[in-house]
Every structure is written in C-alpha cells, then in structure tokens.
Chains A and B, each alone.
Chain A
C-alpha cells in the first residue's frame, strides 16, 4: 500500500513580512483534492495575504507553499496558471468586454486548448454560475454581483481548459466570492464551487459568512493576526471559545437539528432582549 498522496495545497510554516510587519506567521495548512477549505477571521487577519502567498502572487518570507508536494517557489506564471485559478475580491476591468469574452480570458493561458473547446468550456462555466443569458452583455453594464459571478466563471473556465498532467490537482483560490451576492446567488456560487471540488479540485476560499462557510466547507481555518488559531471540520471549529477568540467578540455557536453548526449575527443578550420585548408587546 503506497502512502497517501501529498496534499493538493500545502502551506509549510509560511510567514510573510513587509516593512517589519508580520502579516502571516508560521501557518501550516493542507487541503486535499475534493476538499473545500474556508478561511475565516476578522478584518486584517491576513486572509487575503495568505491567499496571495498560495497563488504565488507573493513570495513567503519563510516557509514554503507546495502544490501536490512540489514547492512553487520561482515557478513561471504560465505554469502556475495551469495549476491554479484565482478569483480576486474585486476587479479593475473598466473596458467593455462581453461577459463571455472575460470568461474566455481564463482559457487564454499559453498552451491551453483550441478556441472551439474554450468557447464550449466558457459557456459551461457561465451556465454554472447562472449567467448564460448574459453571455453577450457588456461587462461594464453588469451589476456588482453579476460581475463577481463572471470572474468565478472565468476561474472555472481556466481550470476546465488547463492542460494538466496526471497527478496534478486543479486548485481554485477564491477571495470572498459571495460578498456582493444575495442569498440565492450565494448558494448558487458555493454549490458551483462544491461541484468543482467534487470533480477533483482542491478549493481554498476566504469567506466572511461563518454560516455559509460552515454549511459548504469540509474544513475551516481560523486566522487572527496572521496566525492560525485552529483548523478542522466545521463541527470542531464553530465553537464559542474558538470563534470568540478569533474574532475578539462574544460569539454564540449553535447547531441545527440536523447538526449543522451555525451562529447568529446578533448577541445572546440581543436575542433574549428581543424576545422579552416581543412578550411585553
């Protein structure tokens, strides 16, 4: 029996310093093919910086990032693009590409397949995020939520068209993919991300919403001040002590009858106070 394959994404004691400030400090994490890992933490915890270290956009000051057990230090941009796709928090695009053209940029990495396949892949990606009707619409005329979904489709298209070699796991890195979305589209996008994982990808997602993260991720990692507080399945992570320590405020975790952990965004006092007020009325 061969030993288990190396994790698809591994952070091995990764630290990042800039101008004397330690933004990420000694983070160890591993995501395997088929898994979705959510990164949670307060503003300024280093979540986006950590994602940039994993994407190769920043070089760790110390420690290593490994894809399928191979360090990515000094890898060519085109090589990285074959391995991982990234959905950034926001885009700077102000030129009037159509939605389809933006998604097709995901298939424009050198060495990627033929134009016809690319268009078909782009079309499938747009369907997955529920935007196929707007394929020919100008990006500049789309709403914030629609733009966000276009970028997710672009990343999916990049993963689908990448000519990976055997043993190379597709990686999807997303930074707050649901920040501009209503609840229906939040579910749609996270389901699409789950599907990508089910097809064999490893997903690392910075998320804000603890409940969405608990509902859709296999693993949650808590970051505070650049340090990993805890990492594990949602049931082990969505706990009062861990969340309160991470976010620096009182958080009351609970579980649904089906054992899905959740938190309410308001405090226990507010909940009980509210009930009291309702009783008085």
Chain B
C-alpha cells in the first residue's frame, strides 16, 4: 500500500504533519483513559456512583452534610486506590511489554509469557510466606515497600536470566523466548508450590490470589508501596527511547549509532523489573496486557518508541481499567480475578499473532 503524499510536500513537511497527528492521537488516548477512570470510580456492586462525590468532598472539607460515611469509604478508600492501581498495572505492563519486545526484537515478548512476572511473583510469595517468620527485621524495615521490592528483585533476576540466555543472538526467535518462559514459569511454579506447602492458611490465600492476578485487595498501602517504582520507571523511560529505537536494528547497528549497548540493556532490564515488579506486587500475575497493547499501537502508528511508550502506557491503563471493571461487575457481588479477564481477551489475540507470524520469526 503506497501512501501518496500531497503534491509538493517534502519529507520534512510529512514529518511535521505526522507529529501533529501523533500528538492528537495521544490527546484522544488521554481522554479515553480519563473517561475509563471516571467509569471505574462510578461502577461497583455497592451501587454508589460518582454523583456521591460532591457530598463526599463536602464532608471531607468539613461542610458535613448528611452522609453516612459509607459513600466516602466506597469512593475514596476502595474505588480510588483500585482505579489508580488498575491504571498503574495496565500502563506498566504495557510499557514492560513494549520494552521487552524492543530488547528482544520480537513483538511476541510479554512479561507474563516469558517468565518475568513469574519471577517477580515467586519473590513476592517467598516474602509473604516466609518473611514474617524468617526475616521479620527485614520485612519490618522495608515496611509497605517490602512486597514491591521483593517483586522487583524477582523480576530483575528473571530478566537477567532471559538476557543471559539470549545475549548476542541475532534477534531472538519466538520459540526460544517462549520456551525460556515455560522453563522459568515451571521452575517458579514448583518453588511457589513448595512455599504453599510450607505456609499457613492466611499466606496460602494471598498466594492463590497472586497467581490468578487480582485487584480485589486494592488499598492506599499498595498504592504507596508501588510509588517508588512508578517514579523509577518515569525517570528511566525518557532515557530509553533512543536506545530502544536503535536496538530494533540489532545490537551491532545500535552500537554503530553510538548507543552503549551494555548500558542500554542494563537500564531496560531495570525499567522492566521496576514496571513488572510493582505491577505484580499490587495485582499478582496479569498476562497479555503487555502483548496486546503495544501491538495495537504499532499497527496504528509504527514502532517509534517516542510514541509507542506513552501511547502504550495510556492504552494499557485504559485496558487495565476496562478489564478490572469487567472483573468487578461480571459476577457481582463476587469477583473474577483480573488475570483471568485479561487472559480471556488476550490469549486468543496472542494465538492469532503466533499463527500469523510462526514461532521461527
């Protein structure tokens, strides 16, 4: 399909035109995200809607009207942190997916599928199951950040193993990536099984939630716990855009373009672990957001990470919110785990991509 440029247009004009178009697209994505966030605040099995917000706010600033405190609890302590976490989980998983795909030069890399989420979950589970009894001082010292830090370290370890296994290869085949993911997932599941076997009932329930992925336990504690990792991700991302674009050409060519490949890979690894670690810490293993989102963005606007990363973040956040609303409402007053909703949407999509692309690509 040949795009015909308007008569007399230079490449510079076309580039400017494309920039205007992409900033418009980002604006539209931001609006859709805002709408999804409002919807997430309005919808829930308790029946409280956003209409209660003015009353709740009035109560907060002291002009107490006749509210029963229930609405404030639902909006501010249940739905608001849950909405923020859904945004964070969706955005960071989508960004992590885009980064892994760039690093491995394979659009089928997803933190959930290639074992990064499993690594993060294993470390978090180990902390939940054994932290209290075996390292109480450490858990105490880390406070609300304990689980996110454990998940970050676990994600980092899994990413390092993956990079070590695939380093120096000319593009990593889907088969290699997925098999590595299967191996890492099998290992972590076995170890999580050991943790489950050894842990008490309360830890066991937490553990089950982890592996399915859920935002049911959303709280301000979790929002604050994950905050440093969101900050780390936001600091690292702008520095990675150029490196990721260059790495799409291959590591040798990235070096020719002046990219310090070792340093770039290290930073991408850190950013991925921060994104996945914090997402796993607050929601457990949520798959497929990282593969569906960047794919849609690339179809619409190409693989330039200057656009791909922010657009994936916003679209991923929107998908995270949408999936969580479904998780809350589909079988209300009970809940579906978020990871099951994303898998129901994402797995067929993934299958379609694999069939079209083939595992050797």
Interface residues of A (CB under 8 A from B): 55-57, 76-82, 85-86, 88, 91-98, 100-102, 105-106, 108-110, 115-116, 119-120, 122-123, 126, 132, 135-138, 141, 158
Contacts and interface: CB of A to CB of B under 8 A. Distances in A.
Given A81-B258, A122-B11, A126-B11, A105 B105 contact: no
B246 A77 contact: no
A235 B11 CA distance: 43
B258 A91 contact: no
B134 interface: no
A198 to B, nearest CB: 23
Given A57-B255, A88-B253, A123 B361 contact: no
Interface stretch (B36-44, B273-281, B297-305): B297-305
A88, A95, A96, A106 interface centre (most CB from chain B within 10 Å)? A95
Contacts of A93: 248-250
A190 to B, nearest CB: 21
Interface stretch (B2-10, B70-78, B193-201, B339-347): B2-10
Contacts of B356: none
A97 B11 contact: no
B259 to A, nearest CB: 6
B250 A91 contact: yes
Contact of A109 (B12, B105, B253, B258): B258
A76 B263 CA distance: 12
B24 interface: no
A1 to B, nearest CB: 37
Interface string B216-259: 00000000000000000000000000100110111011011111
A105 B259 CA distance: 11
A77 B258 contact: yes
A136 B14 CA distance: 9
A77, A88, A119 interface centre (most CB from chain B within 10 Å)? A77
A92 B170 contact: yes
Contacts of A141: 1
B107, B242, B302 interface centre (most CB from chain A within 10 Å)? B302
Given A78-B260, A81-B258, A92-B105, A97 B3 contact: no
Contact of A94 (B12, B105, B260, B261): B105
